[in-house]
Amino acid sequence: MELNRKTIMAIMVDNRKEEAVQVQKILTGWGCLIKTRLGIHDGVLDNCTNYGLIILELVGDKEKHEELKNKLNVLPGVQAKYLDLEL
């Protein structure tokens, strides 16, 4: 039976209003590693929260995933972690 491997990265952004632009620039620069992207935050319109969660499905080299994680973790209020899954 062939194993299906997935690499998932979760990024918590605590200062979304201040850090979102920088996070987006980094993700855009590393866009070829990102197969799937989902952004989640509470509230809408006037009740929009200042924190959010981004979930990525990554492809490519594990070393590049680590480099992306490190670039994100340098930003204030941003915490990125990833895990490899075998399904």
Domain CATH number, residue 81: 3.30.70.1150
Bridge partner residues of 65 (DSSP) = none
- HSE toward the beta carbon, residue 64, CA cutoff 13 A: 13
Domain count along the chain: 1
Its sign, for the CA torsion 84, 8, 63, 67, is negative
Given this model, what pLDDT does residue 2 score?
57
Given this model, what pLDDT does residue 3 score?
64
Query: In which element (H, E) is residue 69 found?
Result: helix 62-73
Q: Which domain holds residue 38?
A: 5-86
Which range has the worst mean pLDDT, 7-11, 13-17, 74-78? 13-17
Separation between Cα atoms, residue 10 and residue 55, nearest integer Å: 5
pTM for this predicted structure: 0.86
